[in-house]
Amino acid sequence: MDKIYNPVLDVEEIRPFLNKISLFGGLNDKQLEEILKLLKTVKYDKGEYIYKRGEALSFIYIIKQGEVKLKIEEKGVFLDLINFKKGECFGETSVIGIQSHFSNALAVKPTELIVLEPAKLLSIYESNKETFGMLVLNIARETARRLHQSNETLVQYMLIKDMKLD
């Protein structure tokens, strides 16, 4: 089913919401206004996939309402990676890395997302390199935080596995 992507119409309502999101940290009002014009919204029902593992990169997603779970199925093993809630972003590493999605993204409950298309991100690069630089720096910081958390989880898993082998 093709999704309907609508422009963000409630700009004054959504501006304070976006100011709290790490992706937009450090941006001034003029820069945020520039980005607001590029954003769209889309809705997903509970149990609906936003994307599946291996699909081409799509958007940078920001959860306006609802919850999204990233999960992997590999060789019959199912892993729940992370749950994203209101105000959190996902999909940005696929967009910046120009890679297909590593996981499945599933709406855990009815969910409304704010999205930024890769082409719109590129248009920011073309029109305002300072804004683009801040966005990419914020994405890099968030990616580094998640990598750090993943490393900690992996170490804990390895320690538990090693203890069971003894």
Q: Is the pLDDT assigned to residue 165 strictly greater than 80?
A: no
* Residue 1 is assigned to a structural domain of this protein: no
Cα dihedral across residues 107, 26, 40, 38: positive or negative:
negative
Q: Are 70 and 84 in contact (CB under 8 A)?
A: yes
Q: Are 104 and 72 in contact (CB under 8 A)?
A: yes
Residue 33: which CATH number?
Answer: 2.60.120.10
- Give the chain's mean pLDDT: 89
The pLDDT score that the predictor gives to residue 45 is: 97
Q: Which domain holds residue 34?
A: 6-165
Q: Specify if 88 maps to a domain.
A: yes
pLDDT digits (tens, 9 = 90+) for 106-138: 999 999 999 999 999 999 999 999 999 999 999
Total count of domains within the chain: 1
Query: Does a structural domain hold residue 159?
Result: yes
Query: Quick check: is 58 in a domain?
Result: yes
On whether residue 18 sits in a domain, the answer given is yes
Q: What is the mean pLDDT of residues 70-83?
A: 83
pTM for this one? 0.85
